[in-house]
Amino acid sequence: MKGMHPDPVGRPSRVVRRASQRSTLMRRAQPTIAGPHEGSGFSEVDHATDPTKYVRRVDAINGTSFWQAIKRRARDLLDVRHGARILDLGCGTGDEALELARLVGSAGRVVGVDRSQTMVAEARRRAAGKYLPVEYRLSDAQCLDFPDEWFDGCRCERVLQHLDDPRQAVAELVRVVRPDGRVVVV
Ligand SMILES: C[S@@+](CC[C@H](N)C(=O)[O-])C[C@H]1O[C@@H](n2cnc3c(N)ncnc32)[C@H](O)[C@@H]1O
């Protein structure tokens, strides 16, 4: 609505500001580092002084109802079937791969791939003893070690923005999914 601006609870309110006020507001609108925040450190998690802080950061974000709803929607879009082979690219702590492993059942397979040893180790620790059809591999999203058309579906959440070449990662997703399979990118 032109000239209208939704307030934080969604009610429209008229906003009338001079140009000087607008430029001040635009400068203040730059991203801040307060609260759960995903900085570019996710491209090099293992090089951080404390890589486990990224595990905690992922958990904090994934625990919100907002991101839980997005994950549910992504799962619906992926249309996971019993017996399916599913890839989670940039799987982080591996929790979503566990959810998917429950859906594909013992006849299926879920593979979580991440570039960070810290993340892969944490994902394996969380999966230990659950006896679900899931495995976690250390690999770069831009160069996958899977045959063409290997997966029935692929997902990738909050990863592309951390890559040098996101197009290449998308090309890999398309390469490894079967022709009528689904790719869901968040
Ligand atoms: C913001 S986290 C998201 C993790 C997970 N997808 C989720 O939704 O909880 C980004 C993840 O991308 C991984 N990552 C960054 N660069 C990568 C690359 N080149 N190849 C594979 N994974 C990468 C990081 O290690 C991290 O686990």
**67: domain CATH number?**
3.40.50.150
Please state whether beta strands 85-89 and 151-156 pair in parallel, antiparallel, or not at all (unpaired). parallel
- Count the neighbouring beta carbons within 10 Å of the beta carbon of residue 170: 19
Query: Ligand 1 center to residue 18 CA distance, Å?
Result: 42
Count of the separate structural domains present in the chain = 1
**Minimal-distance CA residue to ligand 1 atom 13:** 90
Residue 155 Cβ contacting ligand 1 at under 6 Å: no
Q: Report yes or no on 37 lying in a domain.
A: no
Range of the domain at 163: 47-185
Q: Report yes or no on 71 lying in a domain.
A: yes
Q: Report yes or no on 17 lying in a domain.
A: no
pLDDT per residue over 96-126, tens digit each?
Answer: 999 999 999 999 999 999 999 999 999 999 9
What is the value of pTM for the model shown? 0.82
pLDDT of residue 123: 98
**Minimal-distance CA residue to ligand 1 atom 4:** 92
Alpha-carbon gap, residue 87 to 183, rounded angstroms: 9
Q: Report yes or no on 35 lying in a domain.
A: no
pLDDT per residue over 27-86, tens digit each?
Answer: 444 444 333 344 569 999 999 999 999 999 999 999 999 999 999 999 999 999 999 999
With both helix axes pointing from N to C terminus, report the angle between 52-62 and 117-127 in degrees, rounded to the nearest 10.
60
Q: Report yes or no on 15 lying in a domain.
A: no
Q: Report yes or no on 163 lying in a domain.
A: yes
Q: Report yes or no on 147 lying in a domain.
A: yes
Torsion sign, CA atoms 11, 17, 23, 24: negative
Q: Best substitution site from 115, 160, 186 to test ligand 1's pocket, by max atoms within 8 Å of Cβ?
A: 115
Q: Report yes or no on 30 lying in a domain.
A: no
